[in-house]
């Protein structure tokens, strides 16, 4: 836990627990929301797996990104998750979205 606190620049165990909780809630929520989104577009588990799963993952990614910042904000950790988001997207080559 100390390595994570140091790596993320956290000051307390409470902050670490809150951040880990936000990651857990966000992942679960994004996975739950991806199913109705794909169903709304007419892509259901009855489609071939090579159509359904790539589509679901494709929709899961932006849902997760948005939820991470929103749920982080709800838990009072907006600054951490906004910085985390910018770093993650810049590593994926999307950092130009945040140039000021």
Distance of alpha carbon 30 from alpha carbon 67, whole angstroms: 7
More confident residue, 90 or 65: 65
Helix/strand/coil percent split, the chain, to 5? 80, 0, 20
Angle between helices 13-40 and 78-91 in degrees, nearest 10: 60
Identify which has the larger pLDDT, 41 or 77.
Answer: 77
Mean pLDDT for the chain? 88
Domain range annotation of the chain = 18-94
pLDDT at position 95 is 66
d(CA 4, CA 23): 14
> Residue 10: is its pLDDT beyond 70?
yes
- Whether the CB-CB separation of 76 and 70 falls below 8 Å is answered with no
Q: Are 54 and 75 in contact (CB under 8 A)?
A: no
- pLDDT class for 99, splitting at 50, 70, 90? low
The CB density around residue 10, as the number of other CB atoms within 10 Å, is: 19
SS3 assignment, position 40: helix
Q: pLDDT for 27-58, tens place per residue?
A: 999 999 888 888 888 888 888 888 888 888 88
């Amino acid at each position: 836990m100390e390595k994570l606190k140091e790596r993320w620049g956290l000051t307390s165990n409470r902050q670490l627990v809150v951040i880990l909780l936000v990651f857990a809630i966000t992942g679960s929520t994004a996975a739950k929301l991806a199913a109705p989104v794909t169903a709304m577009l007419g892509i259901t588990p009855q489609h071939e797996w090579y159509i359904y799963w790539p589509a679901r993952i494709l929709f899961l990614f932006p849902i997760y990104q948005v939820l991470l910042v929103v749920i982080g904000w709800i838990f009072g950790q907006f600054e951490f998750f906004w910085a985390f988001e910018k770093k993650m997207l810049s590593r994926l080559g999307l950092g130009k979205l945040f140039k000021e």
